[in-house]
Amino acid sequence: MDQHFSASQGASLIRRGLFPTLIYGPVVSRRLGMSLGINPLPLDVKLCSFNCPYCQFGWTDMYVGDVGEAPDEVFPSVGAVGAALEETLEKRVSDGTRLDSITFAGNGEPTLHPEFAELVDVVAAIRDRLVPQVKLSILTCGSTLHHPEVLRALNRLDERQVKLDAGDPETLWAVNLPHPPFDLDRMIAHIPGLTDCILQSMFVQGRVDNTTDEVVAAWIAKVAQIRPLAVQAYTLDRIPADKSLEPAPRARLHAIARRCQETTGVACEVY
């Protein structure tokens, strides 16, 4: 459901529609182009280790901290996801649909799937056979990077986009509500295990504000520590779970991006 943010709409909605299928799109992504989504998560609930107040899907229904904490039976099987992807790609190849990315995302955190590594192997094989020119990507909050098998699977992909919305624990808690005992420093310590990554950073104002000079300075320090390929800064484009949140002004986003790039030397683009 593509519901763009507006204050007047926000008051009437409590939860957003989830992706009702294993494969969805392609959707036009601000960062990934024409993206065909893979949802390796339940179709009827949001399952995540974060409970971000800005999430377009509303509040998290199945709030779990790590792999193995949700029952295996709530996840689609690797075979079902592979079959759905193969069927969809064959149709898209036949009708000439342009694709830039096949993206693991869906109704929460995709790496919580108990067979995530096997799923990546199956998806990569189907991609290689049917659309080898299309990149494999993921949107992840990084909560499972301490698992070696997750890191290895992520490194099979072409692009890894990891969430980093704050550099200090207090602000990160406010803007992401991670399931305890999430440890920001532990997550960052495992990022060098990735071949490379792009950081995605959401900036908001209102009840939660991660755009102040002090908070931005702490975030920039973490960017400098991680040394990603690039940073993608953006703000609300759809109705958030917490309707008291407001989009960060574009001028402020550009100021944050300039400060980040000048301080770290890492390219920072505003979306």
Beta strands in 154-265 (DSSP E): 159-163, 198-202, 204-205, 230-234, 246-247
Q: Which one, of 263, 256, 260, lies nearest residue 204 by Cα?
A: 256
Could you tell me the sign of the dihedral formed by the alpha carbons of 116, 59, 211, 166, in that order? negative
Q: What is the pLDDT of residues 43-57, one digit of tens each?
A: 999 999 999 999 999
Q: According to the 3-state scheme, what is the secondary structure of 44-73?
A: CCCEECCCCCCCCCCCCCEECCCCCCCCHH
Q: What is the pLDDT of residues 72-129, one digit of tens each?
A: 999 999 999 999 999 999 999 999 999 999 999 999 999 999 999 999 999 999 999 9
Residue 31 binned pLDDT confidence (cut-offs 50, 70, 90): confident
What's the CATH number of domain 7-270, 3.40.640.10, 1.10.1200.10, 3.20.20.70, 3.40.30.10? 3.20.20.70
- Domain parsing of the chain, residue ranges: 7-270
Tell me which residue has tokens 């792999």: 67
HSE toward the beta carbon, residue 120, CA cutoff 13 A: 25
Q: What is the pTM of this model?
A: 0.91
Q: What is the pLDDT of residues 208-257, one digit of tens each?
A: 999 999 999 999 999 999 999 999 999 999 999 999 999 999 999 999 99
Cβ(185)–Cβ(145) below 8 Å: no
